[in-house]
Amino acid sequence: MELLQSVGKSTDESEFYTPYPAGYKKDKTKFVVVFGTVISGLGKGIFSSSLAKLLKDKGLKVSPIKLEGYLNIDSGTLNPFRHGEVFVLDDGMETDMDLGTYERVLDQNLGRKNFATSGQIYSTILNKERAGDYLGRDVQMIPHVTGEVKLRLRELAMNTDADVVFVEVGGTVGDIENSFYIEALRELSYEEGPGQVCFACLCYILAPPALGEQKSKAAQLGIKRLMEYGIHPDVIACRAEDEVGLKVREKISLFTNVPVECVFSMHDLSSIYLLPENMRAEGLDDQVVEQLGLKDRCDAVEEEKHRIAWQAYVEKIQAEKPTVRIGVTGKYVSLRDSYASIIKAIEHSGIANEVEVEIVWIETTDVNEENVDEILGGVDGIIVPGGFGKRGTEGKILCIEHARKTGLPYLGICLGFQMAVIEFARNVCGLADATSTELDPETTHPVISILPDQKLIEGLGGNMRLGGQDVQITPGTIAYDLYGQKEQIRQRFRHRYEVDPSYIEQFEAAGLVFSGRHPEHPIMQVLELPKKMHPYFVAAQYHPELTSRPLNPQPMFVGLIEAAKTRAGK
């Protein structure tokens, strides 16, 4: 059997269409593929990133990719209520929240090559068809769509020089929208050969209260559905509230022909950062290394160094700590996944400050002049996060005014930065109707607006500032100290509106400090009040939460929690 290895070439003599990147070498990169069964939301990204971390700790180079079934080109237009937060990568790619999990756990930046949707796959194929790349062939799900999926995985392997590519298939086995991904991965395993691909399956173990015991039948049927696609799992992770007992794991092992030592209990933990150590204790990482023949590439000294560092972090998580209360004043608070990265950044910074952070969720549409003092009276600091649209913005402004006047530690993010400018303009500078043109296009004081060069770009998303941008930091400011006295940093943006430059001089004369700016253009990116005016009042036009990592917490969040800890101590 001869597989065609150049993109777009097919013949009447062969039905095979398997494009390979130029220079691709089999055996160089192994693949770990993660599926979910029974129900969605099992934590495939957490499982995959934790296992990837363990292999990375051994000195292996890993690269994850999330395969999404929806037809959107990216996650940028998805409502947070439907799909959780939009996570922005450094290169500007808008993805779902699982990419944030990978970045945090692996402590590495990812890019658009690490995220694929059905919309991307189909668009690429249709563009090739219009360009005549298929030489008159009728374009079909097999082999052309599955071939494009395999090509992307192999290109990722080559472009990142990975020892192991971790592939997470979105949704649940049996969903019609991800069936072509599953078929492509079956083909990939066949073409790469034995010992090149490890299939991992997450299943849900039911524990009906009325029965008082764990039941595995739904899990068995879910795994059977995967096997019907021609894929036999090598590793099975059993999700459950409580630890999955040996009896249940043995039953699943017998049903699937997967050795019981490869059937892992992935029960609920107090923190997702405890999962890697649980996996390591069960030897799951060593099982995968053995199955993929990677032992010769592992470095035991490197592994021990990372194990000690992570264990120290885990011990900090588990230690008894005083509590501080941080209010998150948002407009999507009914769905916590809308603020997943903010929650994690708070966790990281709380551990760095040796405090337990209790998050108080505050729906800003419920905040008014009569109740704002009462609502914020029991918190030690607040965050006003990002968002789009008018709903809840007046409540955000009232929260900011309260924080500014009472000395309550404050961190504003994106829209929270813009609302801080509006609040300062109204209540300090006397511009009573100051607002954003997003909220009122006819305002006489558009202190926040789209800059002229942005107005030339049409279309939803077309005028967004997306991804990593340089920020010039002013020496001697709070931001300068927070970022280790660096005069230039790189942060990730996702916004359209800016501070109107014509008001900056007036704001600065009244005491507002713009401590972070674009290196070349009059774009304000960090604001603060001097410590003589306020203990901690800082806001960023960018999204600092996107770059927070467990062992390297984001400085703005660290500063907020430190100030809140001081306030709580008083």
d(CA 536, CA 406): 11
- DSSP string over 69-122: -SS-SSSTT--HHHH-PPEEPTTS-EE-THHHHHHHHHT----GGGEEEHHHHH
d(CA 348, CA 45): 19
Positive or negative: CA dihedral 545, 547, 552, 555:
negative
Contact 262, 200 (CB under 8 A): no
Helices 98-106 & 340-352 angle (0-180, nearest 10): 20
Peptide bond into 475 cis (omega under 30): no
Q: Is 545 a catalytic residue?
A: yes
Catalytic residue among 144, 402, 534, 543: 543
Catalytic residue among 68, 148, 545, 562: 545
Q: Phi first, then psi: what are they for 271, rounded to 5°?
A: -150, 140
Q: Phi first, then psi: what are they for 299, rounded to 5°?
A: -125, 105
Angle ∠(394,400,404) on CA atoms, nearest 5: 145
What is the distance in angstroms between the CA of the first residue and the CA of the last residue of the chain?
76
d(CA 239, CA 253): 15
Q: Is 374 a catalytic residue?
A: no
Q: Is 302 a catalytic residue?
A: no
Catalytic residue among 399, 414, 429, 495: 414
**Any idea which residues carry the catalytic annotation?**
414, 543, 545
